[in-house]
Amino acid sequence: MKPRVVITGMGTINPCGLDVETTWDNIVNGRTGIGPITLFDPSPLNVHIAAEVKGFDPANYMEGKEARRRDRFAQFAIAATVQAVNQARLKIDESSADDVGVVVGTAVGGLHSWFECVETYLTQGPRRMNPFTMTMIIADSASAQVAIIVGARGPNFAPVSACAAGADGIGMAYELILRGEVPAMICGGSEATVTGLGIASFDRLGAMTRENDNPTTACRPFSKDRSGLVMGEGAAMLVIETLEHALARGVEPLAELIGYGCTCDAFHISAPLEDGSGAAKAMKQALKHADLQPSDVDFISAHGTATSLNDPMETRAIKTVFGERAYKIPVSGTKSMTGHMMGATGALEALLCVQAIRTGRVPPTINLRVPDPDCDLDYVPSVARDVPVRIAMSNAFGFGGHNSVLILQRYEE
């Protein structure tokens, strides 16, 4: 019999809050984190808005010298980890260090540091480059730095699966526990792509909205008048462990992680399969892994990017898996408030699923005022809803055809 895996701690730094409580309050009340870009001068770009993390001070989590040697995405991951570990009351010492692993997913890693390094190289020469450049830009720097901070010597990975990376971070950690590698994992995703390079790259793809004058309403998942995604940043981290391990420590679980599915479309580097078959297979895989039927699911946290390719595809995938029941399941698109946090987004949305399970409320999809006939499910428009959620599904899809799905359940003794 496979062990039960429970969530005992959560932490987040994101555009809607610098902790779980503030984030949830803003999300369920439909308050957006999207606004004008302040991290740099966006005037040369077509896009002047983003979902930035606001008010974050790394000094609250690390010494100034260490902060300067870590990219913004690693700083976010460390801060979210500290919150999660504190909530879980997870003490890591010499006797337990080998029993705790770390997985932090990301799409691009240290983009801020990479961009600054290239600018320095071109304008001032290689001798002026930061000597810590390489350790700041590599994609595993967040997972490595988290392990160093907490002293976790178990398995350590940094899945790079585009916008599915945060969900894969949790899914990989879950499978390591099921395999008996370790009894506990710190896992999630982190990203900091709000840079000139990040914004310009996505804009050139034609994926981003240019509604600079209306940032609060610019991101409209599942709406007929959608105009593209808004880039976000941040991190979300969870502490997951076997139920036996948690109870032995005297910790009450927040929720249970019961399923994970991942597939690849093997179709196109940036476009999903239009019929949603790849995403549907990942959902079915997760349900099978959790030993559930489609009728068991009470809530779906959608990937919902507000792009013309993703929204109809995800809607078709949900219909493929759930049939007529698809019309009865509330589906939330929280990127309407958080923006698209790339490799961190799947982890944050899993965290929000835990909150929905614990509070009996599901978040709204704000700005959904013009129904799209191709997106005709119950997307919880505008206002949060009281729903008794026992089983929640969280979808995350990424460039390259990555499809990753997590299933979470209310914890019951």
What pLDDT digit, counting tens, does each position of 179-225 carry? 999 999 999 999 999 999 999 999 999 999 999 999 999 999 999 99
User: Measured between alpha carbons, how far is 306 from 367 in angstroms, rounded to an integer?
Assistant: 11
Whether residue 223 contacts residue 370, with contact meaning beta carbons closer than 8 Å, is answered with: yes
What are the CA-CA distances from residue 122 to residues 115, 117, 125, 189, 328 (Å)?
Answer: 11, 9, 6, 31, 56
Q: CA separation (Å) from 251 to 7, 116, 244, 358?
A: 10, 43, 10, 16
* Confidence (pLDDT) at 34: 98
Q: Is the pLDDT of residue 19 over 90?
A: yes
Q: How confident is the model over 136-179, as pLDDT tens digits?
A: 999 999 999 999 999 999 999 999 999 999 999 999 999 999 99
Cα distance between the two ends of the chain = 17
Label residue 378 by pLDDT band (50, 70, 90): very high
Query: How far apart are alpha carbons 332 and 334 in whole angstroms?
Result: 6
Domains in the chain with CATH codes: 5-248 (3.40.47.10), 260-403 (3.40.47.10)
Q: pLDDT category, 1, cuts 50, 70, 90?
A: confident
The 10s digit of each residue's pLDDT in 83-101 is: 999 999 999 999 999 999 9
Look up the pTM and report it.
0.97
Beta partners for 134? none
- List CB contacts of 235: < 8 A, sequence separation 6 or more: 12, 13, 14, 73, 76, 77, 79, 80, 142, 188, 189, 190, 191, 344, 347, 348
In the predicted model, what is the mean pLDDT of residues 359-365? 98
Shortest CA distance to 161 belongs to which of 410, 404, 406?
404
Q: How confident is the model at residue 293 (pLDDT cuts 50, 70, 90)?
A: very high
pLDDT at 43: 97
Catalytic residue positions? 163, 303, 340
For the segment 42-47, the average pLDDT, to the nearest whole number, is: 98
Instruction: Region of 405 please: left (phi>0), alpha (psi -120 to 50) or beta.
Output: beta
